[in-house]
Structure formats: structure tokens, C-alpha cells
């Protein structure tokens, strides 16, 4: 016969059940925790203790050619979103990874909006489930659609450089998009497409609970804030979304087309870095 649980274990279990329930996930108890993920969690914690302090601004994310990619298209977003769940402060990485996996399984072989007709792969997201910093883009392009990963094309190379400029590794942040399937011809997602897909993005945000979100471009900020506003008026300050700080900057594809704006984008990223207590790595 099973022994009764001591009160600390029971409390921990109740907390875990609440965590999943608040996310709308009710089947967690059927799923075993992968020991490999627990090991990863320990590694993450070790990494957090050895954060590098960097004192000079890096070379700005240069050396990329303009790509024929997304335009900045602000579009109407659904205005009311469910409030973020109240979840415990320190959620182990294994739980977050498992919760993300459940969201992915919930998406399944999605046919909820017309974008599924033209997609090759669903682009769920990429990075650390316990990232302190999360980037949100618009939607997959051709490279992302082929590989099933966000920001792996030209704009992705620039985003990687932006992340490195902040003194971070791509694996340390989390990257997702407003829509998870490629809009035909890289057009901006239609409101009904974006509004169908964003509940999954919000669930990802609620699981990861990054300290800072960076909205890349007008589509991301429109759907994160739930309101269409010109990007220029939103840059330069810290917004709040689902209990997380939100910084607004240009989409990397736009920066590829107009590299003069990289300076502006770097100013935005520095706001994010300040919020995270990060200093830029020194050159050389
Ligand atoms: N542009 C986006 O907005 N997202 C991607 O994943 C790639 C390019």
C-alpha cells in the first residue's frame, strides 16, 4: 500500500497541479517527467550563477544583406485576452519544458485557420523554456517553414547577431511568432489567422514567464498589446503584457532593408538589457 505523502511533498504536488491547471492543461499527471530535462534544469541553474559581466557595447549586428521578407503591417488585433494565470515563482525547467510540450501537442496537426493549407512545418518556438528574455516575431518565412524553427533565415541571422550583441546565446532566449504557420508569400497574417494562433503564444509566454519580452515589428506588438498603434510611438519605453515587461523594436527583416535603423534597434535592446541587468560584451 502507498505511504501517505508528507505535507511538504503534498504541497509541492498541489503547487504543480495548480501550475498546470492555471495553464489550462489537465493531463499532466499522465506524463512522466523526463530525467534528461531535470539534468538540463540543473545545468541551467549553474549557468545562472556564472553570469558574465560585460562592459562595452559590441560591434553592432552588421554584415547582413537586405532580404525580401516581411513588411511592417499593423493590423487589428482582438482586444481582450484572458488574464495571465497566477503561477508559482520558481517553476522547474522540467515542468516548463513539459508544459510547452503539452501546448505543442494541443496544437497538433493544426487546421484551425487557412494558413495550414500552405505550410510544410508548424513553427512552434525555439529556445530555453526558462528564458529570461523572449522574442516574438510575426510568422515563419520559407526557411522557417522548411525547418520548423523560427528565425533561421536571413532575418534569423540578424536576430542571432542582435542576441549575441546583448551578450546572450540563442539557446538562452526563447523565440516564437504570432502565427505558427507560414503566411503565403510572407504576407502579414490576417487578423483571424493571428487571433486563432495567439492563444498558443500566450500560453507559451505564461509557461516561460520571461522577465522581458521583445516584440519584433508591428505585427508582434499589435497582437501582444491587443491594439494597433504605430511602432514609433511604442518604442523607447517599457510596456507590460501578461505580467511581463515588453520592449518594442523593429523586425530584423526591416533592419535588413534599412540598416540605418539598426542604431535605433540597438537602443531598444539596451532598454531590454537594462531591465535584465545585462551589460554588452566587450569587443575583441
Ligand atoms: N520572420 C518572422 O517574423 N519570424 C520568423 O520566424 C522568421 C522571419
Q: Are residues 121 and 185 in the same domain?
A: yes
The CATH code of the domain that includes 112 is 3.40.470.10
pTM of the model: 0.75
Q: Are residues 138 and 260 in the same domain?
A: yes
Those residues whose C-beta lies under 8 Å from the C-beta of residue 7, and which sit 6 or more positions away, are none
* pLDDT tens for each residue of 190-239: 999 999 999 999 999 999 999 999 999 999 999 999 989 999 999 999 99
Q: Are residues 20 and 101 in the same domain?
A: no
Those residues whose C-beta lies under 8 Å from the C-beta of residue 248, and which sit 6 or more positions away, are 214, 215, 221, 231, 234, 235, 239, 268
260 pLDDT above the threshold of 70: yes
Q: Based on C-alpha coordinates, what's the Rg of the chain?
A: 19
Does residue 1 sit within a domain?
no
Top pLDDT among 168 and 66 is at 168
Does residue 282 sit within a domain?
no
- At residue 77, the pLDDT reads 53
Question: Which atom in ligand 1 lies closest to the alpha carbon of residue 144?
Answer: 6
Q: Are residues 143 and 33 in the same domain?
A: no
Query: What whole-number distance in Å separates Cα of residue 109 and Cα of residue 104?
Result: 9
CA of 140 to the centre of ligand 1 (A): 5
Q: Are residues 37 and 80 in the same domain?
A: no
- Domains identified in the chain, total number: 2
CB atoms within 10 A of CB 81: 17
Residues with CB under 6 A from ligand 1: 70, 123, 137-141, 144, 150-151, 155-156, 177, 253
Q: Are residues 40 and 169 in the same domain?
A: no
Which of 67, 142, 150 gets mutated to test ligand 1 (max ligand atoms within 8 A of its CB)? 150
Question: Which atom in ligand 1 lies closest to the alpha carbon of residue 149?
Answer: 6
Residue 232's domain comprises 59-276
* pLDDT tens for each residue of 261-275: 999 999 999 999 999
Does residue 66 sit within a domain?
yes
Amino acid at each position: 500500500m502507498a505511504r501517505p505523502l508528507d505535507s511538504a511533498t503534498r504541497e509541492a504536488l498541489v503547487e504543480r497541479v495548480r501550475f498546470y491547471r492555471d495553464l489550462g492543461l489537465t493531463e499532466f499527471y499522465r506524463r512522466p517527467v523526463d530525467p534528461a530535462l531535470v539534468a538540463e534544469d540543473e545545468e541551467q541553474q549553474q549557468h545562472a550563477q556564472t553570469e558574465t559581466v560585460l562592459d562595452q557595447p559590441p560591434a553592432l549586428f552588421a554584415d547582413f544583406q537586405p532580404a525580401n521578407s516581411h513588411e511592417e503591417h499593423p493590423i487589428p488585433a482582438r482586444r481582450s485576452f484572458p488574464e495571465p494565470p497566477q503561477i508559482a515563482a520558481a517553476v522547474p525547467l522540467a515542468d516548463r519544458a513539459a508544459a510547452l510540450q503539452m501546448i505543442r501537442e494541443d496544437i497538433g496537426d493544426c487546421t484551425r485557420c487557412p494558413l495550414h493549407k500552405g505550410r510544410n512545418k508548424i513553427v512552434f518556438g525555439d529556445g530555453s523554456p526558462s528564458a529570461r528574455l523572449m522574442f516574438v516575431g510575426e510568422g515563419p518565412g520559407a526557411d522557417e517553414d522548411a525547418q520548423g524553427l523560427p528565425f533561421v533565415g536571413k532575418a534569423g541571422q540578424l536576430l542571432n547577431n542582435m542576441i549575441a550583441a546583448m551578450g546572450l546565446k540563442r539557446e538562452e532566449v526563447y523565440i516564437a511568432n504570432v502565427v505558427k504557420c507560414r503566411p503565403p508569400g510572407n504576407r502579414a497574417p490576417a487578423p483571424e489567422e493571428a487571433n486563432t494562433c495567439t492563444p498558443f503564444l500566450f500560453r507559451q509566454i505564461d509557461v516561460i514567464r520571461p522577465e522581458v519580452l521583445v516584440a519584433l515589428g508591428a505585427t508582434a506588438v499589435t497582437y501582444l498589446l491587443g491594439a494597433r498603434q504605430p511602432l514609433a510611438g511604442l518604442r523607447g519605453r517599457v510596456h507590460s503584457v501578461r505580467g511581463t515587461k515588453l520592449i518594442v523594436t523593429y523586425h530584423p527583416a526591416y533592419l535588413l532593408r534599412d540598416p540605418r535603423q539598426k542604431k535605433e534597434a540597438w537602443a531598444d535592446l539596451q532598454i531590454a538589457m537594462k531591465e535584465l541587468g545585462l551589460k554588452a560584451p566587450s569587443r575583441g
